[in-house]
A and B are shown apart, each in its own frame.
Chain A
Amino acid sequence: MAEFFAETWALPAPAAYALAGLIHCALLLGIVATGAMGFIWLERKVSGRIQDRLGPTRVGGKFGWLQSLADGIKLLSKEDLAPQEADRLLFRAAPYISFSASYTAYLALPFAPGWVAFDTNVAVFFILAVLGLEVFGVILGGYASGSKWSLFGAMREAAQVVSYEVPLGMCVAIPVLLTGTMNLTTIAQMQAGWFTNWLIFHDPFTFVAFWVYAACALASVNRAPFDLAEAESELVAGFLTEYSGLRWSYFFMAEYGSMLLVGGLAALLFFGGWNGPVPIFHSLGWAYAPDETAWRLTGFLSNLAGCMNFLTKAVLGVLVMMWARWTLPRLRIDQVMSMCLKYCIPLAAFCFVGVLGWQALGVASPNDWLPAARGGAIAVRETWWWQEAAAAPAGRAGRGDESGVGADTGDVVGGTARRARIAEGAGGAG
């Protein structure tokens, strides 16, 4: 985008980059903030339906869709309170630390091929590291509040989130191990094709690893049954006890932002990212090739559909989190910790080693044996029945090679061959 500004408006390079940066930030802020508001509304509706209620129905006419906005206005107009005992500076800084961590992590999250603010080849690492910073806001907020309940919340958060980062990191490393890259765009592109190409179906270990990831992600974003830091029946509101108004809502937005983020990360790492279950755009030849940069309408449409795919998957993840929250009781802190140490870490390590072995021995992925998968892999290059009349098979094949993403030969391909091919793709995109 910076190049675009530099060329069209003849801006000096720093100004062009600053402008592009600002636009990226504004777009992302829009996504995070409106996303959070949408999720708050969704949470109300979902919990309402789960609990045999209606949820909001009045504000903004149908479905109470303006409820979150009304909430926002209410929070804005509240008195800005800081307790007497509080460490003013830290108390005020904490919500922003939490929010910026959650928000910054979005920088490296691709929504579609090329639709990413900061296309880095360490995106996975970046997101994990930055998301880990969110806990600082909570700890500081709890500590600076000068309230014992807040301190309890902060202590729990520190213990819980730091422990769960370990199995979370291991689970996230598994797709990285399989694809040989930390670039989220490449990871997602390599799962193109039929849904059997998604990494969760790659082998039994990745399948288990996803569930471990889901549990750890739930714990690291502090959602029920792991919402111990703000356990309202034990700690009043945990680290949020002394917060009100806008500062409180910043924590809230950070929480919802992280929820979508871990949902999106799951979609990218395990569920094919923006690739739908059926490779429609690839078979049409609309999708961008990994190294393609020129703008074209078909590519844009394919990206738009991909973005929708991605968001659908991420929101589904968030919905599952909401479902869990409104169904399950809360675990106790010792049970949370022992679950991490006794189950999550060993399972994650087992899966990690298993995938390592799977790759090292070159065992074919079961989905390569599946007829559907073969068909799927071939489908990228070969024609659909409605195309056959229109074009010659040779032309189709050529186009398929061009798009090339995740194109299997259709034979049983071992991990090594897969990786080699994938590495080419990564080089092109990176």
Chain B
Amino acid sequence: MATIDDARTVECDVRTDEMLINMGPQHPSTHGVLRLLLRTDGEIVSWVEPHIGYLHRCAEKIGENLTARQWVPYTDRMDYLAGMNMNLGWALAVERLLGLSVPDKVRHVRVLMAELNRIASHLVGMGTYGLDLGSFTPFLYAFREREKILDLFEEVCGARLTYSYIVPGGAAGDLPGGWLDKCTRFLDEFWPVIDDYHTLLTNNAIFIKRTAGIGVLPAALAIEYGCTGPVLRGSGVDQDLRRDGDAWYTAMYRDYRFHVVVQKDGHYPQDHAYPAVPAEAVLGDSWHRYYVRMLEVVQSVDIVRQALEKYQAAEDEWSTPIKVNHRLPEGEVYLETEAPKGQMGFYLVSDGTAIPWRTRARSSCFANLSVTSELCQGCLLADVPAIVGSLDLVMGEIDR
């Protein structure tokens, strides 16, 4: 039988060559320095391979040459969009090794910071996702509100991006006077703006067309690849470490009320005020991953409000963080926390000196990125940014 390769075959479809093409590391929509190697047939992408390591800064190795307190600034630079959450993960891990628990006042400030940073991170995730889909304006609207959060952080710790605020044994300092009012004012201003975001993106017909049904990640596959955070919850898996995590971590949120944002019976918790799930959307697609983030912002606002109340009610003293040369007890500890992008784990082995013998960070984005090749198979070229953007990757955390 004559095949397409047979020279004698005269009549056949025009055979097109596959093209190998590099998306990144310098590309507008790879969120930093991700390099995607694409094999495309025209517009159809047949194979995707992510290449990483362009932002590798040996953070883990550096951690084995610094004391636990000294390594805090390096955790900032992992997920630089959620520095507070990175600090928190490391601080909790070290505290667990030391068996050190912080007073309630510090605990509530930590919750406050972690949730505010979660809002900021999700805002960037939402804004850049709009950018990936060719819509420029939501990005600036998101950054406008994020600026206000950064202003709040700046007032607390002097930094706008790399905070090093939450440290083992407490936090760098108590909240300045008048800060609580400013935070409340921000939340009041932010609340109506959320509706704008939904009008601009969530409800936009083109946005739905571009994201619904694109990059469907089934729950089983998500678990298999170790996906966590909004990516996992977007696939309908009810898992949030703030509720289900290690007792050492969940203790931080012990008297807080919040919902884990995951779809149950076709509905998200408290989604009545927000756009309904469009008919085209399939559980686990890009739209759901995006929507989970948007609803988590709402939950975080709620948690921040509770934290503000609890902080004012807390009567205990502010604690002193550990010293720079604080000796760690011999042993090992691993603690995972729910960072905005997923489960961020810190592993620490100590040989009894002040400097850890081994430090390791479990990156959520790394696991989330690994699923790209599966999701992008057979999609169109324009879907690649739509899928990668919906995973909300930060290269600083993947490469460390």
Binding site for B on A (CB under 8 A): 47, 50-53, 148-149, 152, 155-156, 224-225, 227-228, 231-236, 326-335
Contact = CB atoms under 8 A, between A and B. Distances in A.
Nearest to B139: A51
Contact of B204 (A53, A155, A329): A329
**Most chain A CB neighbours (cut-off 10 Å) among B27, B135, B201:** B135
Contacts of A333: 43, 380-382
Contact of A329 (B140, B210, B381): B210
Contacts of B28: 232-233, 236
Interface centre among B134, B141, B210 (most CB of A within 10 A): B134
Contact of B209 (A152, A236, A331): A331
A235 B133 CA distance: 12
Interface in B176-226: 200-201, 204, 206-207, 209-210
Interface string B122-134: 0000000011111
Contacts of A148: 19, 21
Given A232-B29, A328-B204, A329-B130, 12 more contacts: A52-B140, A225-B134, A225-B206, A228-B382, A233-B131, A234-B384, A326-B136, A328-B134, A329-B135, A329-B204, A329-B210, A332-B382
B338 to A, nearest CB: 29
8 contacts: A51-B136, A52-B144, A148-B19, A329-B134, A331-B210, A332-B210, A332-B383, A335-B210
A330 B206 contact: yes
Contacts of B384: 234
Contacts of A233: 28-29, 131-134, 385
Interface in B63-78: none
Given A148-B19, A232-B28, A329-B206, A47 B136 contact: yes
Nearest to B131: A233
A223 to B, nearest CB: 11
B137 A236 contact: no
Contacts of A50: 137
Interface of B: 19, 21, 27-29, 42-43, 130-137, 140-141, 144, 200-201, 204, 206-207, 209-210, 380-385
Contact of A334 (B29, B134, B380): B380
Contact of B206 (A156, A236, A331): A331
B135 A152 contact: no
B212 to A, nearest CB: 12
B141 A51 contact: yes
Given A53-B140, A329-B134, A234 B204 contact: no
Given A53-B140, A234-B382, A333-B380, A227 B27 contact: no
A420 to B, nearest CB: 45
Contacts, number: 83
Contact of A224 (B132, B134, B381): B134
Nearest to B30: A233
A329 B43 contact: no
Contacts of A228: 382
A231 B23 CA distance: 14
Contacts of B43: 152, 155-156, 333-334
B195 to A, nearest CB: 16
A228 B206 CA distance: 14
A148 B207 CA distance: 27
Contacts of B200: 327
A148 B38 CA distance: 12
Contacts of A52: 140-141, 144
B139 to A, nearest CB: 8
B134 A330 contact: yes
A326 B380 CA distance: 24
Contacts of A155: 42-43
Contacts of B383: 332
Nearest to A333: B43
Contacts of B382: 228, 231, 234, 330, 332-333
Contacts of A51: 136-137, 140-141
Given A326-B136, A329-B134, A236 B27 contact: yes
A231 B28 CA distance: 10
Contacts of A329: 130, 133-135, 201, 204, 206-207, 210
A329 B28 CA distance: 16
A53 B27 CA distance: 25
Contact of B381 (A152, A227, A327, A335): A152
Nearest to B211: A329
A228 B380 CA distance: 13
A231 B382 CA distance: 9
Contact of A327 (B135, B140, B209): B135
Contacts of B137: 50-51, 326-327
A329 B384 CA distance: 15
A331 B382 CA distance: 9
B142 to A, nearest CB: 11
A148 B42 CA distance: 11
A234 B135 contact: no
Given A225-B206, A233-B132, A332 B140 contact: no
B178 to A, nearest CB: 26
Nearest to B132: A233
Contact of A231 (B19, B21, B134, B206): B134
Contacts of B19: 148
A233 B131 CA distance: 7
A234 B206 CA distance: 16
